[in-house]
Structure 1
Amino acid sequence: MGTGAITGYIDVAQVALYVFWIFFFFLVFHLHREGKREGWPLELDGKGDTLVDGVGGMPIPKTYELANGQGSRTLPGPAPASYELKANSTGPSAGYPVEPTGDPMVDGVGPAAWATRPEKPDLTIDGEPRIVPLRVDSDHKVNSRDPDPRGCAVIACDGKQGGTVTDLWVDRAEPLFRYAEVDVGDGTRLLPMTMARVSKDGTVQVKSIRSDQFIQVPKLANPDQVTLQEEDKITAFYGGGTLYATPERKEPWL
């Protein structure tokens, strides 16, 4: 047997398989840790001072430079301050469902919960606000073959009019409409297009909330731009309505 002829007494295929298994194990371990840069460590229900790192511990902090002069972020880092959970656990230990103590849609409970995000608008690659109303962006318009809901009524889940569409907000990055701006009498509110259905005559149907709840949708600080935090709160309000808008929605089907 010549020098280096290891294939005569070593199963190369089996060695390659073992090497792959070891590599794959460390790959999964690495990806699992990297996935915990945000949202970790976990906080146990009702025990704000008890944090759980999970399997494998936490990754080494890494600093990311943000685009458009927005500074930098180090992750994992100090967790942003969260809002008070206005709900009580229905059981003696962690993991039990919670029962809201107030208005869950306003308090951010369950499907109406929102995450703490920056009070800054999402930006395009050019550093401009990504989501804006058509009144400040003349480059976009409604396709002539599509219904234009501007000036049309918004009908809520109770069959009543909750407001009137006054404008549409376009996503400059992928051009599509993200929100409809609705006049509710006491100013305007945003309605996510994913929570609405536009009929051929332009009328907008909303199944998630009642007509009287449109006025409770979070307001914008700037009428011509929406921040990441405002987007989260607005979407959470409509999402919460799918469970909390009417009393009968809270009960189980079975």
Structure 2
Amino acid sequence: MQTGAITGYIDVAQLVLYAFWIFFAGLIYYLHRENKREGYPLESDRSGSITVQGWPSVPDPKTYRMANGDTVQAPNARRDNQPPLHEGAYRGAPLQPDEATDDLLLAGVGPGSWSDRADVADMTYEGLPKIVPLRVAAGFGVAPQDVDPRGLPVLGDDGAEGGRVVDLWVDRSEMLFRYLEVDVGGGSHVLLPMNFARVEQRRIRVKSILSHQFARVPKTRSPDQVTLLEEEKIMAYYGAGTLYATPSRQEPLL
């Protein structure tokens, strides 16, 4: 027999190859199972009592320690707190808002859909709230060569004034402005994402929603912080306006 051969038909190199195949198959199985820690089991469109998890099955719960000291288990039985939806006339039809939803901008469908993220503020590496208004962000301000939007009117797509800017919210990690804080009257303030606003010399223009719709933008619990879930809902509201702000926007272009 040659060097390294165990028998006339098996040698060490062949055993190593077989061991690698077994290890690699086990690795694929492990990674595919770990991939099901979030989003599983799936929801069946036939019955709520059906568990859809496929093969391999969902792994046992594992506890994760978060940066703020909290613990989270995954997978878990927590359901997304999404607005009620229903299908169209047949299975597979686009989801439609529930009949009880009186405002399509808050229905959570299409461009207004949102993810059920954690209802806590995003933090910087130093443990401070990441996105805050300038009134509490020492050392940040508007560059002298740029337009300071504070005090400017905010116009909806109908050309009418929906409110006035009272402050800017800065991302202390990325060094940029994320939101405009808008006073919509009655002591109520809402956030306007910068990517939905066009800052001009004497006004702020918003194409996604109309002037009267600013009052229904989802609010923040804290006047100086915004949570990840609140950001999702605020962005979704303006996103929904691109399709649902007026009845004509829901019609086909041709």
Query: If the length of structure 2 is used for normalisation, what is the TM-score?
Result: 0.82
Letter in 2 for 1:57: S
Change (3 A) 1:161 1:74: same
Deviations 1:209-231 (A, max 9, x none): 11110001011221111122211
Indicate the percent of aligned positions where both proteins have the same amino acid: 53
Separation of aligned partners in 1, 2:16 and 2:3: 21
Which secondary structure state, in structure 2, belongs to the residue aligned with residue 68 of structure 1? coil
Gaps in structure 2 of 5+ consecutive residues? none
Q: 1:66 Cα deviation (Å)? A: 0.7
Gaps in structure 1 of 5+ consecutive residues? none
Conserved 8 A contact 1:189-1:218? yes
Equivalent residue number for residue 42 of structure 1: 42
Equivalent residue number for residue 96 of structure 2: 99
Which secondary structure state, in structure 2, belongs to the residue aligned with residue 154 of structure 1? strand
Separation of aligned partners in 2, 1:229 and 1:191: 15
Conserved 8 A contact 1:104-1:110? no
Q: Structure 2 matches for 1:151-190, cutoff 5 A?
A: 151-186=151-186, 187-190=188-191
Separation of aligned partners in 1, 2:86 and 2:185: 35
Q: Structure 2 matches for 1:113-128, cutoff 5 A?
A: 113-128=113-128
Separation of aligned partners in 1, 2:37 and 2:150: 42
Q: Is it true that 1:58 corresponds to 2:55 in the alignment?
A: no
Q: 1:179 Cα deviation (Å)? A: 0.9
Deviates more, 1:125-134 or 1:32-41: 32-41
Q: 1:83 Cα deviation (Å)? A: 3.8
Q: Is it true that 1:217 corresponds to 2:217 in the alignment?
A: yes
Letter in 2 for 1:58: V
Q: Is it true that 1:78 corresponds to 2:109 in the alignment?
A: no
Q: 1:22 Cα deviation (Å)? A: 7.4
Equivalent residue number for residue 88 of structure 1: 86
The RMSD of aligned alpha carbons is 3.1
Separation of aligned partners in 2, 1:55 and 1:145: 59
Which secondary structure state, in structure 1, belongs to the residue aligned with residue 145 of structure 2? coil
Query: If the length of structure 1 is used for normalisation, what is the TM-score?
Result: 0.82
Which secondary structure state, in structure 2, belongs to the residue aligned with residue 35 of structure 1? helix
Conserved 8 A contact 1:148-1:202? no
Deviates more, 1:167-176 or 1:153-162: 153-162
Q: Structure 2 matches for 1:16-35, cutoff 5 A?
A: 30-35=30-35
Which secondary structure state, in structure 2, belongs to the residue aligned with residue 178 of structure 1? strand
